[in-house]
Structure 1
């Protein structure tokens, strides 16, 4: 059962000022580009100047270091330097708006329009909400005379959407080189989800304790080419299309363990209706039933299998010419314990067509190790969530995507992924798609959450404190 949390005083937040500060940040298009596509450095410089203007206390009190020219690392030294620190992560960059889709938005993606109770704009959810909520919390704490015991770090990468190689990777390397110890890391990832689980009426605060791995396979076919008036029995496009169909028809097997099992057994199970509580509490018997239930939802199914997603298809230049080559990229999100080369071999086995060359596109990334859910750091985070969202059930889960926090897992075994916002049912789709938005009321909750988290982590005796 979820622990009872004593009511806490509600901290006043300048909601109107926060809204305008947030809107101004959304209007600066800090778009990530793939290597070789060119980076809009002026946008990131303008965003950095904007933060300095609107959060003067943070910039005056905390030490600021630029990493790889654009990532920001703030450090607020604690009164007890031997204590391991708290690290709060967010990222400045946003994904591009798909060319040609601008007209599909209800409101322009970089105008930060407030309408229908929402703030609309690219980056509103992913992840400028987290960044501004953190800065708002720290600015308020400084104004109220707060002095931390343990050192607080704010790490805001500039390239999370393209892998974090110049941002979070370098920041984590800096921690290791300088010997800075960490008790708790919190990044984006989970959220408050409602109506997600059958048999459960309460909202669920899903907290990522591990991330799936990542791998893409490149499929290539060399055909004869020629004029479309005399096509072969099967063209390069046809051969490749058949392979894609095979992959989609032969999905990877389901596996119910680790963070996903804990989600049901330790998270939502004890809080569910009686019938579902019996099922979730006896997975040794009802596992096949639960897996069948999860398979009905793409998001839930992705928690229990390595997923297959064809994402790019290249073939043909002219309508009356047969392409000499066809290529497809298929993306896989790997369950913990599965390796990229093993998945690649399974792809070859499923396709079983010597006319198709299968290779790895780039490098594979294995799933992250799972963080502890028996720690005082976890208990502190769960307590903070319940203080701000008292109706929520806190549950660990396996994050389907990737975040900058994975680079900190070797430095700390208490790395968690959670955004303090109530996520609408199609919120994940909006994050990288059309009509990204957040509820206006969520801004105040975000600022209050990070303030309480900083205070609670500072006052608590966390697991790694005893080793210092």
Structure 2
């Protein structure tokens, strides 16, 4: 059923959300914060998300100007907000960033920034059950309502909840002790650096005074019918491309050659694919496993988490515990630099032995690891004289980890516990790349959260087919962001 609900219907849906069974992970049992209307936030977030999904910002080409104009129209209706549509890239490309600033009447502290990206990854429409660029409401088995559409999770859901939260927070402008900056970027999903990089290079004056920022990157994880953990990103891996080039003699397919370039490439790529980089913990990942152990149900995994994060653990103890944790791909990605084979190219015809072939690995390097050492390891492990692994581009310096001692991190932690007293709040290192790295590099501590509570089944649809978000999760997200911003800005 196509999602064409009006604000009135959305308000009814929000009210039914609040009276749902107490077992729902999206129902907040504690009182709403001062000045916050839950039904209104639920309705507004749904309205914004419907509008954003309907604006096709598939990257490439991006066309983020469509979304920037929408935000400009929304924030134009909020008193005390300054707005900037910032065209990006080549003239006429349709790319843009957007900045709005809610001015506190009498600020005494530096601003807080909340941000997200407007572009989305591409889709294979044949594999979607709904039109990916039309917000579509589907009631699944068990009576759960889902909103389908590209960007529902990554990252238009975040932007929609942030907008709804700011619409309500703006009514308290006289009570705020700092401005709130809203930043919506282009090109986070790749391509020309016309998003956060252009903001930092050309428009940094609009955001440079932010004391800290709240971005995507973390997770609110649902398991066993409740919000099990709130994972706040404080750092992230650095993304690189490493290419394998194989060379050898060409020839007719009727005469097999022992030095076939593609055969050598296949052997080397398989070895590198199976190789695991050494375990390398940092402050964030140690704390991550230590706190995750408190809620882990599997006694074997729980013990491994405790051992790997124990103060003074030896390398042998850490490696033994990591071997157990690495059975779970997400844990494995947190423990070490990881490589994923993403492209293989070679050959021109089925009866021609080609003289070369290539393979591409997407490599996510830990902040405290050395990508040059990883390239050397690939060449050693690959073990084929015909195959050479090389780094595309130059090594980059990892930005500093955002500390857990700031007012923003503590506000996020306090808000999570206020909404779900039984949840675990966990510092988190993202295995993916976000715009937060560029801000950390400029000295702005940045924290990541995807504020919609999601079971793993839905979280894994990010960048995949049939991306969706539980409708009730949107109101939860708006409340979490409102609580966080109110706590960090209230006098």
Q: Do the aligned partners of residues 113 and 176 (structure 1) sit closer, same or farther apart at CA in structure 2, a change above 3 Å counting? A: closer
Corresponding residue for 2:109? Answer: 83
Q: Do the aligned partners of residues 351 and 434 (structure 1) sit closer, same or farther apart at CA in structure 2, a change above 3 Å counting? A: same
Shift of 1:120: 0.8
Between 104-113 and 352-361, report the one with greater CA deviation: 352-361
Tell whether 2:485 aligns with 1:454: yes
Tell whether 2:45 aligns with 1:26: no
Q: Secondary structure at the match of 1:426?
A: helix
Q: Do the aligned partners of residues 83 and 410 (structure 1) sit closer, same or farther apart at CA in structure 2, a change above 3 Å counting? A: farther
Output the CA distance in 2 between the equivalents of 1:355 and 1:422.
Answer: 49
Q: Secondary structure at the match of 2:218?
A: strand
Output the CA distance in 2 between the equivalents of 1:366 and 1:430.
Answer: 31
Shift of 1:271: 5.4
Between 68-77 and 8-17, report the one with greater CA deviation: 8-17
Shift of 1:61: 3.2
Q: Secondary structure at the match of 2:121?
A: coil
Q: Secondary structure at the match of 2:483?
A: helix
Corresponding residue for 1:335? Answer: 366
Alignment counterpart, residue 324 of structure 1, candidates 339, 355, 359 = 355
Residues 401-432 of structure 1 deviation map (CA, whole Å, 9 limit, x = unaligned)? 01111111144463211121112213343111
Q: Secondary structure at the match of 1:162?
A: coil
Residues 2-32 of structure 1 deviation map (CA, whole Å, 9 limit, x = unaligned)? xxx9854463333345423321210111022
Aligned ranges 1:283-294 → 2 under 5 Å? 283=310, 284=313, 287-294=318-325
Q: Do the aligned partners of 2:243 and 2:391 also contact (CA within 8 Å) in 1? A: yes
Shift of 1:368: 3.4
Q: Do the aligned partners of 2:289 and 2:305 also contact (CA within 8 Å) in 1? A: yes
Corresponding residue for 2:125? Answer: 102
Corresponding residue for 1:158? Answer: 186
Shift of 1:274: 12
Between 298-307 and 313-322, report the one with greater CA deviation: 313-322
Corresponding residue for 2:342? Answer: 311
Output the CA distance in 2 between the equivalents of 1:349 and 1:61.
Answer: 60
Q: Do the aligned partners of residues 365 and 201 (structure 1) sit closer, same or farther apart at CA in structure 2, a change above 3 Å counting? A: farther
Output the CA distance in 2 between the equivalents of 1:56 and 1:224.
Answer: 65
Shift of 1:355: 1.4
TM-score by length of 1: 0.86
Output the CA distance in 2 between the equivalents of 1:186 and 1:16.
Answer: 23
Corresponding residue for 1:181? Answer: 209
Q: Secondary structure at the match of 1:302?
A: helix
Tell whether 2:80 aligns with 1:61: yes
Corresponding residue for 1:36? Answer: none
Q: Do the aligned partners of residues 203 and 332 (structure 1) sit closer, same or farther apart at CA in structure 2, a change above 3 Å counting? A: same
Corresponding residue for 2:331? Answer: 300
Output the CA distance in 2 between the equivalents of 1:148 and 1:168.
Answer: 27
Corresponding residue for 1:51? Answer: 71
Corresponding residue for 2:289? Answer: 264
Output the CA distance in 1 between the equivalents of 2:303 and 2:356.
Answer: 55
Corresponding residue for 2:8? Answer: none
Residues 440-465 of structure 1 deviation map (CA, whole Å, 9 limit, x = unaligned)? 011111221222122111027xxxxx
Q: Secondary structure at the match of 2:264?
A: helix
Q: Do the aligned partners of 1:182 and 1:412 also contact (CA within 8 Å) in 2? A: no
Q: Secondary structure at the match of 2:276?
A: coil
Shift of 1:157: 0.4
Output the CA distance in 2 between the equivalents of 1:167 and 1:47.
Answer: 14
Aligned ranges 1:428-443 → 2 under 5 Å? 428-443=459-474
Q: Do the aligned partners of residues 48 and 397 (structure 1) sit closer, same or farther apart at CA in structure 2, a change above 3 Å counting? A: closer
Residues 177-229 of structure 1 deviation map (CA, whole Å, 9 limit, x = unaligned)? 57843322110011111349xxx986011111110112111111223222211
Output the CA distance in 1 between the equivalents of 2:192 and 2:39.
Answer: 32
Output the CA distance in 2 between the equivalents of 1:321 and 1:169.
Answer: 44
Q: Secondary structure at the match of 2:340?
A: strand
* Structure 1 gap ranges (5+): 34-38, 461-468
Output the CA distance in 1 between the equivalents of 2:405 and 2:298.
Answer: 26
Q: Do the aligned partners of 2:249 and 2:259 also contact (CA within 8 Å) in 1? A: no
Alignment counterpart, residue 200 of structure 2, candidates 150, 164, 172 = 172
Q: Do the aligned partners of 1:212 and 1:398 also contact (CA within 8 Å) in 2? A: yes
Q: Do the aligned partners of residues 19 and 146 (structure 1) sit closer, same or farther apart at CA in structure 2, a change above 3 Å counting? A: farther
Tell whether 2:111 aligns with 1:111: no
Q: Do the aligned partners of 1:384 and 1:449 also contact (CA within 8 Å) in 2? A: yes
Residues 22-79 of structure 1 deviation map (CA, whole Å, 9 limit, x = unaligned)? 212101110222xxxxx354xx333233334445424x53112233431001122333
TM-score by length of 2: 0.82
* Structure 2 gap ranges (5+): 1-28, 89-95, 140-144
Aligned ranges 1:245-284 → 2 under 5 Å? 245-265=270-290, 267-270=291-294, 280=305, 283=310, 284=313
Shift of 1:269: 4.0
Corresponding residue for 1:72? Answer: 98
Corresponding residue for 1:378? Answer: 409
Output the CA distance in 2 between the equivalents of 1:202 and 1:179.
Answer: 33
Output the CA distance in 1 between the equivalents of 2:343 and 2:206.
Answer: 42
Shift of 1:112: 1.5
Tell whether 2:168 aligns with 1:149: no
Q: Do the aligned partners of 2:153 and 2:467 also contact (CA within 8 Å) in 1? A: yes
Aligned ranges 1:182-221 → 2 under 5 Å? 182-195=210-223, 203-221=228-246
Output the CA distance in 2 between the equivalents of 1:32 and 1:162.
Answer: 7
Output the CA distance in 1 between the equivalents of 2:460 and 2:393.
Answer: 25
Output the CA distance in 2 between the equivalents of 1:7 and 1:20.
Answer: 24
Between 325-334 and 221-230, report the one with greater CA deviation: 221-230
Residues 289-342 of structure 1 deviation map (CA, whole Å, 9 limit, x = unaligned)? 531231111111000011011111111122222222201111211112112222
Output the CA distance in 2 between the equivalents of 1:372 and 1:383.
Answer: 16
